[in-house]
């Protein structure tokens, strides 16, 4: 009968009147969106304080690093045990993750009681109890003989410095076992297991229940990067960028941070929002002044908040006609489950009547409506406060990712969220209002924190195995000082073979004489033409060199493309194209009638017989023009000029770009006697004593030798340093078996080495979820410029991911870390190998001159050296380490192949004049 009356009453104006009265009375518990956004702002400030090393100690949000660095990626597999200790029940699970057609999880679990005397006894007794329960579980499941990986959900605040340790900061939730605070709970459990001696367990991870929730949901949805518990207590965790977590070393990747947000406001930051009822709850709690946010929102305190409000309203005659009973005054008589029951839309008023009647207050229908509204205000405030704090985390994630719209998943668990009829809907609604630029999916954790601990362990297991295999794969690229000294020694042997007449034919490092006998002395003067052919572009330059007090070099140039069909056509077509470009340039400069001296930078291996004669040994860099190899390229150029019959030029010198680089730097720095190119290709030259160059007559003075060191190792002398990836890159190149040293250390090939390693790692399931994309199969897609970008210290992993996405590789944060490591390892080896070669050169010069110590400058050019963030530094360090008796300065060349060619021509003209005047 009363139910019918109540329902009829529900729709009367009196109800509205009563609701308004309550709204007015509890005005301070109702928040506008403006207030909620202000709370979000305060929360974000606290969050930042908790992450900072200087501010963490005084921050209310402790932002504890969990050392969980990765969410499940769908490739986890294995047999795991999970322990879940966090309340009066202790749960043990066996979790089997398998990969048949798709990833599946099988779980078996047992619940063990944790008696009060153990919760309040000694720590030793508590962990002996846990070890005993684990032993019983293993016995029942017949796995005592297996050493299975164990994940330990320990739902109390812990300080961690690695995944498999957790120092208890303080007990919560009625636990008070002595001798545990400040101790590593993993160590305590291990001791208890060892003491028994009847089984072994490998505890790989200790996690908080909030982290367990995130990981459980992360298994089902890989976008999940936030975990929230709203139950008896409340807490949240999320994946933070490692570079923002001051308490942990390193800045690569992400790590899950346990916010311990229940303590938000413990520093007084929420004082203006707390009501007299909140203060009374706090005064009567076990931990006054602590966990103030938790006391405003969690299930442990919600029923009590409602009871205190009802007592005050009754005292003021606003409820129950002023009746106050001993039951109403008794702490704990209204529980959160009662609040949930009263707020049910259909039978809520009936439930209110039943609950209040048990308290002896003889409620009227009006009282029931009022109490229902009190419950709604208290629970709605809780949902709003949680939404405001969660909005702070979501804004942080959005900012970290640098996206205009965040798409993410929040894993969520807890009795209040699950059981309360309106809570979830209110929370979702408020979050969407506060962060309209975030698409948030809320995913309910089905199997709680136990499965999550197993997932953390499974991920840890996967990562440990992955790390082992990655280290093994990359170990061949990590060269020791002894190995580098061996490379240096072998380079010295090959240098000698190239210089000696008896071994020169068979030598791989050809040590080609360039007939450049001097470096510039500053007296060079005149206008010179320079040609620069060394890749798909061809340059023509006019270089005006002025001597005297105001030495200067003025340059004008034009770039022309060389089409593929010309590169790979006939020699006549190639040189006709070159002369056509020269003709166009002379027209452009208005200099068709002048017979200018010309220097021809020809960046291919040539055997020179004089300064202006060079026989092409072999094409490289994709050139294949016929009838050129074995021919004098200066002769081919002169013939093409004759065929055109438009202009005449005085070809003074054929120049290698490496020599041009040395000459350019020598013009600025007289101690420069070595040239190095570390770019698309790799080569070196240096001033050798004439007496050592057996291929050229005469013993007086010095001559620059073009080493053509890219071919070092073509005789197999580097085979013990070459990896399977080097072999693959070589086999698929245009010139298999040739330029092996260059293929290990030049820009043209580093990206290909990286791409082959990434394919192998993807096949093994370490990268891109085991999916080899079409892009990754494409040769040449991974350009060396991407290595330089990926390895840049200024680049966050987010930008690394966007580079990989630009390449069509859908990568996770973990993928980006691995790719960055692979790039770093490959380019480091390249720099070290290049450094070992250079150490051999400078030591040879020192010994040539019979010096105890040599001071020398190396002129350097090349994109790899100039643009890669670490190449130059690693190379310098290697030279310094391997040639300790040499002080080597490196000077960056400004246009060696253009200005350098002109300088060689100028020096050639000067020497020619000197000879003629004798």
List, by residue number, the catalytic residues.
539, 603, 657
Choose among 508, 296, 258, 516: nearest CA to 393.
258
Beta-bridge mates of residue 168: 158
Q: How many helices (H) and strands (E) does the chain have?
A: 33, 26
Pairing, β 234-241 against β 254-258:
antiparallel
Asked whether the beta carbons of 667 and 688 are under 8 A apart, the reply is no
Beta-bridge mates of residue 205: 151
Choose among 734, 729, 773: nearest CA to 751.
729
Asked whether the beta carbons of 674 and 706 are under 8 A apart, the reply is no
> What does the block give as tokens for 734?
């245009």
> What does the block give as tokens for 767?
């990268």
Pairing, β 254-258 against β 89-99:
unpaired
Choose among 21, 40, 766: nearest CA to 463.
766
> What does the block give as tokens for 171?
């007990």
Asked whether the beta carbons of 406 and 394 are under 8 A apart, the reply is yes
Q: Which single residue is written with the structure tokens 């009638």?
A: 593
Q: How far apart are CA 439 and CA 846, in angstroms?
A: 67
**Three-class SS of residue 696?**
coil
Which burial class, exposed, middle or buried, applies to 90 when counting CB atoms under 10 A from its CB (0-12, 13-18, 19+)?
buried
287, 531, 635, 741 from 600: Cα distances, Å: 85, 5, 12, 26
> What does the block give as tokens for 746?
């030049």
How would you list the strands of the sheet with 682-689, edge to edge?
512-513, 702-706, 682-689, 672-678, 854-861, 886-892
Beta-bridge mates of residue 608: 614
> What does the block give as tokens for 338?
């009662």
Beta-carbon contacts of 299 under 8 Å, excluding residues fewer than 6 positions away, are 230, 231, 232, 233, 336, 414, 415, 416
> What does the block give as tokens for 380?
């709605």
DSSP 649-705: -EEEEEE-HHHHHHHHHHHH-TTEEEEEEESSSEEEEEEEEGGG-TTSS--SSEEEE
Report the Cα 823 to chain-centroid distance in Å.
12
Residue 716: count other Cβ atoms within 10 Å of its Cβ: 11
Q: ∠ CA(138), CA(139), CA(142), 5° rounding?
A: 80
φ and ψ at 812, to 5 degrees? -90, 175
Size (the chain), residues: 918
Residue 198: count other Cβ atoms within 10 Å of its Cβ: 10
């Amino acid at each position: 009968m009363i139910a019918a009356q109540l329902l009829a009453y529900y729709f009367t104006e009196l109800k509205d009147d009563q609701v308004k009265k309550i709204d007015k009375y509890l005005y301070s518990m109702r928040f506008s969106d403006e207030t909620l956004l202000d709370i979000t702002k305060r929360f974000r400030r606290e969050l930042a304080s908790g992450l900072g090393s200087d501010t963490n100690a005084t921050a209310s949000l402790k932002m504890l690093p969990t050392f969980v660095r990765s969410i499940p990626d769908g490739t986890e597999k294995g047999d795991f045990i999970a322990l879940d200790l966090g309340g009066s029940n202790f749960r043990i699970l066996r979790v089997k993750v398998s990969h048949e057609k798709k990833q599946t999880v099988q779980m078996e679990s047992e619940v063990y009681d944790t008696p009060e005397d153990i919760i309040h006894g000694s720590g030793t007794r508590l962990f002996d109890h846990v070890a005993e329960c684990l032993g019983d579980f293993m016995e029942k499941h017949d796995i005592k003989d297996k050493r299975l990986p164990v994940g330990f959900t320990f739902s109390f605040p812990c300080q961690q410095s690695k995944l498999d340790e957790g120092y208890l900061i303080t007990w919560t939730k009625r636990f008070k076992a002595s001798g545990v605070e400040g101790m590593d709970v993993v160590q305590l459990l291990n001791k208890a297991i060892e003491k028994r001696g009847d089984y072994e367990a490998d505890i790989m991870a200790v996690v908080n229940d909030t982290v367990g929730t995130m990981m459980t949901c992360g298994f089902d949805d890989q976008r999940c990067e936030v975990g929230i518990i709203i139950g008896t207590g409340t807490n949240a965790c999320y994946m933070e960028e490692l570079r923002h977590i001051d308490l942990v070393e390193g800045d690569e990747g992400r790590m899950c941070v346990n916010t311990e947000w229940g303590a938000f406001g413990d520093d007084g930051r929420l004082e203006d929002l707390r009501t007299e009822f909140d203060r009374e709850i706090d005064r009567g709690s076990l931990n006054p002044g602590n966990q103030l946010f938790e006391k405003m929102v969690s299930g442990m305190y919600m029923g009590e908040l409602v009871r205190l409000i009802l007592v005050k309203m009754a005292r003021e005659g606003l409820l129950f006609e002023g009746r106050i009973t001993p039951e109403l005054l008794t702490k704990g008589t209204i529980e959160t489950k009662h609040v949930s029951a009263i707020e049910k839309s259909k039978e809520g008023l009936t439930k209110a009547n039943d609950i209040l009647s048990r308290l002896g207050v003889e409620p009227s229908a009006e009282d029931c409506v009022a109490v229902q509204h009190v419950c709604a205000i208290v629970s709605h405030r809780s949902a709003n406060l949680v939404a405001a704090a969660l909005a702070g985390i979501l804004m942080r994630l959005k900012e970290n990712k640098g996206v205009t719209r965040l798409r993410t998943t929040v894993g969520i668990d807890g009795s209040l969220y699950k059981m309360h009829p309106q809570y979830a809907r209110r929370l979702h609604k408020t979050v969407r209002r506060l962060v309209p630029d975030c698409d948030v999916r809320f995913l309910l954790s089905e199997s709680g924190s136990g499965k999550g601990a197993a997932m953390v362990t499974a991920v840890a297991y996967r990562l440990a195995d992955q790390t082992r295999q990655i280290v093994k794969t990359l170990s061949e690229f990590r060269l020791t000082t002894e190995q580098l000294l061996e490379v240096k020694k072998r380079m010295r042997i090959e240098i000698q073979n190239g210089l000696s007449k008896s071994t020169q034919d068979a030598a791989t490092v050809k040590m080609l004489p360039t007939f450049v006998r001097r470096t510039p002395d500053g007296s060079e003067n005149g206008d010179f033409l320079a040609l620069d052919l060394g890749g798909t572009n061809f340059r023509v330059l006019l270089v005006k060199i002025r001597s005297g007090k105001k030495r200067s070099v003025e340059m004008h140039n034009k770039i022309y493309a060389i089409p593929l069909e010309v590169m790979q056509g006939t020699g006549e077509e190639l040189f006709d194209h070159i002369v056509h470009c020269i003709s166009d340039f002379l027209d452009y400069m208005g200099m068709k009638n002048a017979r200018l001296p010309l220097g021809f930078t020809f960046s291919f291996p040539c055997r020179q017989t004089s300064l202006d004669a060079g026989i092409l040994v072999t094409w490289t860099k994709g050139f294949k023009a016929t009838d050129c190899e074995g021919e004098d390229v200066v002769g081919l150029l002169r013939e093409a000029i004759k065929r055109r019959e438009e202009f005449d030029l005085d070809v003074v010198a054929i120049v290698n770009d490496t020599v041009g680089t040395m000459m350019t730097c020598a013009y600025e720095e007289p101690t420069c006697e070595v040239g190095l190119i570390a770019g698309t290709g790799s080569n070196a030259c240096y001033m050798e004593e004439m007496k050592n160059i057996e291929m050229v007559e005469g013993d007086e003075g010095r001559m620059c030798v073009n080493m053509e060191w890219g071919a070092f190792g073509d005789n197999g002398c580097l085979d013990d340093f070459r990896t399977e990836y080097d072999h693959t890159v070589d086999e698929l190149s245009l010139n298999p078996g040739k330029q092996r040293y260059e293929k290990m250390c030049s820009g043209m090939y580093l990206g290909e080495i990286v791409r082959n390693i990434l394919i192998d790692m993807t096949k093994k399931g370490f990268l891109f979820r085991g999916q080899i994309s079409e892009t990754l199969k494409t040769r040449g897609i991974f350009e060396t410029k991407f290595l330089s970008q990926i390895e840049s210290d200024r680049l966050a992993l987010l930008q690394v991911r966007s580079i990989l996405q630009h390449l069509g590789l859908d990568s996770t944060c973990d993928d980006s870390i691995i790719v960055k490591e692979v790039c770093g390892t490959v380019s480091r080896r390249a720099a070290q190998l290049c450094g070992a070669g250079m150490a051999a050169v400078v030591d040879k010069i020192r010994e040539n001159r019979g010096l105890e110590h040599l001071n020398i400058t190396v002129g350097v050019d090349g994109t790899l050296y100039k643009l890669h963030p670490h190449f130059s530094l690693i190379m310098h360090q290697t030279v310094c380490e391997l040639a300790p008796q040499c002080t080597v300065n490196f000077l960056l060349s400004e246009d060696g192949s253009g200005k350098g060619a002109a300088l060689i021509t100028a020096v050639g003209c000067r020497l020619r004049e000197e000879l003629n005047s004798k």
